Chains A and B, each alone.
Chain A
Amino acid sequence: MSVLVLAEHEAGALKPATLNTVAAAVRLGGDVHLLVAGAGVAAVAQVAAQVVGVAKVLVAESEALAHPLAEPLAALIVALAPAYGHILAPATTTGKNVLPRVAALLDVAQVSEIVAVVAPDTFIRPIYAGNALATVRSIDAIKVITVRATGFEPAVASGGAASIEAIAVPGLPGLSRFVEAQLSKSERPELTSARIVISGGRGMQSGDNFHLLESIADKLGAAVGASRAAVDAGFVPNDFQVGQTGKIVAPDLYIAVGISGAIQHLAGMKDSKVIVAINKDEEAPIFQVADYGLVADLFKALPELRQGLS
């Protein structure tokens, strides 16, 4: 049986987590088909066809799919489902929104946020905020799975030559309507795919002080993140949040500044290759996971760090 992967895309480009999801799909055996759904998606279909490991790109072109609303997108996937043994999506806010709806319509379970494929029916997924790893086997005929990007090295984005096939879009439900989006604009890399992430916590004291992190981020080509405490305090918007219920990141270098290291934050970053913690409280739990800890006042350390990187 083939594997269907829901591609996530924006402005003519694939979102990076799509590549990690393709990598997971390749491990299941069978042809991998990438579904590109949206309005005006011809260009992104061309990009998708170059991903190594993808056999076919299915293009669903419809105004009803211009925004990835769960109701029409799930209906589309369910219509395609009989031809597939597995249906995968990245565990992004889009994948997490759409795929359980697909699973319920197919009367199958969903396996959420897998981090490893043990066998085509057996997967490893974190539970209890990553404090335990469960190995689970699905007994359903169709396996519906969301993939945690940090569990899989991304598929190579170019060099493949998949066929592109336009598919007929069935009648889609109109129960929901997109109203507006307020998206953060940033020249910096995306948090979930950045090679370096520098995050601030409550210790930053205000949103204005995040410029101290931003200037270092720009020197390092890093993304800027935050702890839940910093987001709850209104320092930065929700899309900065790294943690169990925010974004899960695993960069080569994660720099935690003024972050105490609550379990729910650690759940979002403890798989980073190298972790640096800067905190004035030497008892802060963040130091228990940090490769390099610096006990210091961040308002003194950050300017020095910026200087040191010049």
Chain B
Amino acid sequence: MKILVAVKRVVDYNVKVRVKSDKSGVETANIKFSMNPFDEIAVEEAVRLKEAGTATEIVAVSVGPQAATETLRTALAMGADRGILVQTEAEIQPLAVAKILKCLAEKEQPGLVLLGKQAIDDDSNQTGQMLAALLGRPQGTFASKLAVADGSVAVTREVDGGLETVALELPAVVTADLRLNEPRYASLPNIMKAKKKPIETVTPEALGVDVAPRLITLSVEEPAKRQAGIKVADVATLVEKLKSEAKVI
């Protein structure tokens, strides 16, 4: 079984983002970018499935600028076999990414497509679900456990009330939640090896996908800052303040 895994280049999770003064977006010049953390979990799961003999080949895909090649190299260093960069400088929204991935899935015919459940920049949480819809295939979102067995995959999902397990016919689309696994760090030899793995570059135009945004961002602003309050000396003062000042208990 082949696995297609989608990875996004995002502002590193440790960076404290700043809103641009013209309110057009957030500052992205001269800051660190990394693979979206949920996508790292998706790559790790793919690699584990290959190590377990369930998967035969892992193809990593990224949609974004030339620099997203670095994100693909990270996936290759973790254990993916080859990469596809769908290169574009344009703003690409989830529906467009899903359409691009659909094209690639039809070409590559994977048994399983793995993605992170959401990207930590736009926090959309849409692409996996949209891809499953466009392919007419089942989806297992927010996965904390996967079990592949003859033609189907059992996905344990993190839901509001606890955990839920669904059985999906393969091919299927699965999105990774935090506790699916702990991604490995790529070793130096594997980073070196990754440099020799192939990365194919295509464009959305060549795939015939219309990527025009459907949502127009009018402004991006900083949320109202919460002011730090006071320190109280002891528990008795705390209880007193909550009763008489805040009036919440």
B residues touching A (Cβ–Cβ < 8 Å)?
Answer: 11, 16-17, 19, 26, 93-95, 98, 117-118, 120-134, 136-142, 144, 154, 157-169, 172, 177-179, 213-223, 226, 228-232, 234-236, 238-239, 241-242, 246, 248-249
Contact = CB atoms under 8 A, between A and B. Distances in A.
Interface of A: 10, 69-71, 74, 92-94, 96-105, 107-113, 122, 126-140, 173, 175-184, 192, 196, 220, 228, 231-232, 237-239, 244-245, 247, 252-253, 263, 270, 273-276, 282, 287-296, 301, 304-305, 308-309
Given A176-B138, A308-B239, A136 B162 contact: no
A177 B169 CA distance: 9
Given A132-B221, A175-B168, A176-B169, 16 more contacts: A70-B132, A94-B159, A97-B142, A103-B126, A104-B134, A127-B220, A128-B121, A130-B223, A131-B223, A175-B138, A192-B160, A245-B117, A287-B231, A289-B226, A291-B229, A292-B230
Given A100-B129, A100-B133, A130-B223, A292 B138 contact: no
Contact of A109 (B139, B215, B249): B215
Given A101-B129, A292-B230, A92 B160 contact: yes
A232 B179 contact: yes
Contacts of A140: 214
Contacts of A295: 231
Given A108-B214, A126-B123, A74 B133 contact: yes
A112 B124 contact: yes
Contact of B228 (A237, A252, A287, A296): A287
A138 B137 CA distance: 27
Contacts of A113: 123, 125
B193 to A, nearest CB: 30
Contacts of A129: 120, 123
A183 B121 CA distance: 30
Contacts of A103: 95, 126, 130
Given A96-B141, A176-B169, A305-B239, A293 B162 contact: no
A100 B167 CA distance: 20
6 contacts: A70-B132, A101-B133, A134-B219, A183-B161, A220-B249, A239-B159
Given A181-B163, A294-B231, A133 B249 contact: no
B220 to A, nearest CB: 5
A108 B239 CA distance: 51
A48 B206 CA distance: 49
B137 A175 contact: yes
B148 to A, nearest CB: 14
A239 B161 contact: yes
B223 A182 contact: no
Contacts of B17: 128, 131-132
B94 A232 contact: no
Most buried by A among B94, B123, B154: B123
A202 to B, nearest CB: 15
B178 A178 contact: no
B164 A71 contact: no
Contact of A122 (B131, B218, B242): B218
A108 B94 CA distance: 10
Closest 6 CB pairs between A and B? A291-B229, A100-B129, A104-B130, A109-B214, A175-B138, A104-B133
Contacts of B124: 110, 112
Contacts of A282: 231
B235 A301 contact: yes
Given A110-B94, A132-B26, A239 B162 contact: yes
Contact of A138 (B178, B214, B238, B249): B214
Contacts of A177: 166-168
B165 A179 contact: yes
Contacts of B177: 238, 245
Contact of B94 (A109, A173, A239): A109
B178 A228 contact: yes
A239 B123 contact: no
A231 B177 CA distance: 13
A126 B241 CA distance: 32
Nearest to B121: A128
A122 B132 CA distance: 27
Contact of A93 (B159, B169, B221, B235): B159
Contacts of A252: 248
Contacts of A309: 239, 249
Contact of B164 (A180, A293, A294, A301): A180
B166 A292 contact: no
Nearest to B137: A175
